Amino acid sequence: MFKSKNIITVQHPESVHHTNGMIGSWTDWQLTDKGVQQAGNIADHLISEIQERTFSIYASPLIRTKQTADIIGEKLNIVPRLTDALKERSLGKAIGKSVQWLKENIQREEKTIYDKCFDDAESRFDVWQRLLPFYESIVNNEEENMIIVSHGDTLSVFNVMWLGFGAEALNAIDLYGISGGVSFLHQSTDGKRKIGRLSDTSFLTGISGKNRADRFEP
């Protein structure tokens, strides 16, 4: 028998690099004021969704994801656990540079998951390898309910892992979300896995008077 798992993933909301033309990657950008508000809205919706269920939170240590996790954790009374496994993909020498600089100076086009835009960057396969031990630990531990706060590229890799595909599948498919998107993943005791909702952005707005608890899909 498999362990029942409910995993909610949160892609961090608006960060400074979304507004200033710079690269995110490992540069430690903060959330914008709008992003802070969006993170609070996400937390409010999650309170309504999960009700009395007990969750743990795992998050990337980069400032924009740590801020998001801290805001959610404060409202849910959960202390986030930080792990480098959930960091965004490193773009090497492009870290701290603008998107325009990357376009003008990229060393090579990334045609497969093994390609790197710069020699000192991570490939998507590198992210897969970095994420895999964390992934295996959470799918095999005793925790039933988890919230994961991370980044777009990293969560797209996580989604492919969750559905049981191998790394090579990333050459053919992508399961990207949107900034601030919230996804709901479930594993039943017979081992069947699903993504019930992928990158739900309705959480970014303030919660209405309508009770959303009936939307939780374990």
pLDDT value at position 212?
A: 46
CA–CA separation, 206 and 218 (whole Å):
23
pLDDT value at position 4?
A: 93
CA–CA separation, 45 and 39 (whole Å):
10
Q: Per-residue pLDDT for the chain (218 aa), expressed as one digit of tens each?
A: 788 999 999 999 999 999 999 999 999 999 999 999 999 999 999 998 998 899 999 999 999 999 999 999 999 999 999 999 999 999 999 999 999 999 999 999 999 999 999 999 999 999 999 999 999 999 999 999 999 999 999 999 999 999 999 999 999 999 999 999 999 999 999 999 999 999 999 999 987 544 444 445 54
CATH superfamily for domain 5-215: Phosphoglycerate mutase-like (3.40.50.1240)
pLDDT value at position 208?
A: 56
Sheet with 5-11, side-by-side order of all strands: 81-82, 56-59, 145-150, 5-11, 182-187, 193-200
- Model's pTM, two decimal places? 0.93
Q: In the chain, what are the domain boundaries?
A: 5-215
CA–CA separation, 127 and 77 (whole Å):
30
pLDDT value at position 144?
A: 96
